[in-house]
Amino acid sequence: MFKNITGIVLAGGESRRMGHHKATIEIDGTPLLKKSVSLFKEIFPEVIALSKEPGSFGDVGCKEVGDLFSGMGPIVGILTAFKVTTSDYIFVAACDMPFLNKNLIELIVNEGQGFDVALPGVGDKSDPLHALYSRNTYERMLSFMENEGRSLNRFINSLHAKKVRYISEEEIRAVDPHALSLFNMNTPEELEKAKKLLSDDK
């Protein structure tokens, strides 16, 4: 278990394309939010779920906190996380990722300490919602949001290249051969794909 790192599950998305809140979707009989929290509790000494309405999902198995303010997307969740914890780092994952992989999370955390951000990438696409963030980024992220907007990818691109650790596709596939941990669900079609992948794996 990693010291001084808090696991953050983001459950504040609008879920417009899915049609209902993704946190409550059940995969293999367990709501996504509870599934993510359960895994995080194996890795991190503190786990927090961030959402617009804490308590609206019942008992999720960890502390719940509401976003500081709304309408700015997941960047607000990261800023909120740094306000409600004293950890040097937070590891963030969106709650719509049904195949989170403990080995990949541990790889990102191990490789990412000492950097401002560490995140995985497959092809030309990196994932800022499956990433490790240093507290050193808080003031810069807040300023970026207030002046530049809410894009996490643009914020990361604004950081010094030497302070960002990109986990390569080769590194990812060494611990997660199909990179399924980076699969997320935004639509009913993607939900059905996730269920099929789960069924095929049994």
List own/partner pairs for 171-179 with CB under 8 A and 24 or more apart.
171/107, 171/111, 171/120, 172/104, 172/107, 172/120, 172/121, 172/122, 175/101, 175/103, 175/104, 175/107, 176/101, 176/103, 176/104, 179/122
Q: Of 17, 12, 15, 10, nearest to 189 (Cα)?
A: 17
Integer Cα distance of 20 and 3 in angstroms: 35
Query: How does pLDDT run along the chain (202 residues), one tens digit per residue?
Result: 898 999 999 986 555 555 446 777 887 788 889 999 999 999 999 999 998 878 778 788 899 999 887 767 889 999 999 999 999 999 999 988 999 999 999 999 999 999 999 999 998 889 999 999 999 999 999 999 999 989 999 999 999 999 999 999 999 999 999 999 999 887 878 888 887 877 666 5
Domain definitions of the chain by residue range? 5-200
Residue 28 has what pLDDT? 77
Integer Cα distance of 54 and 63 in angstroms: 9
Residue pair 36/100 in contact (Cβ under 8 Å)? The answer is yes
Q: Of 91, 96, 78, nearest to 43 (Cα)?
A: 91
CA-only gyration radius of the chain, Å: 16
- pTM > 0.85: yes
Residue 54 has what pLDDT? 80
Residue 156 has what pLDDT? 97
Q: What does the DSSP assignment read for 117-161?
A: EEEEEETTEE-TTEEEEEGGGHHHHHHHHHHT-S-HHHHHHHS-G
Assigned superfamily of 5-200: Spore Coat Polysaccharide Biosynthesis Protein SpsA; Chain A (3.90.550.10)
Q: Of 31, 150, 179, 175, nearest to 96 (Cα)?
A: 31
Residue 19 has what pLDDT? 45
Residue identified by tokens 């306000």 is 83
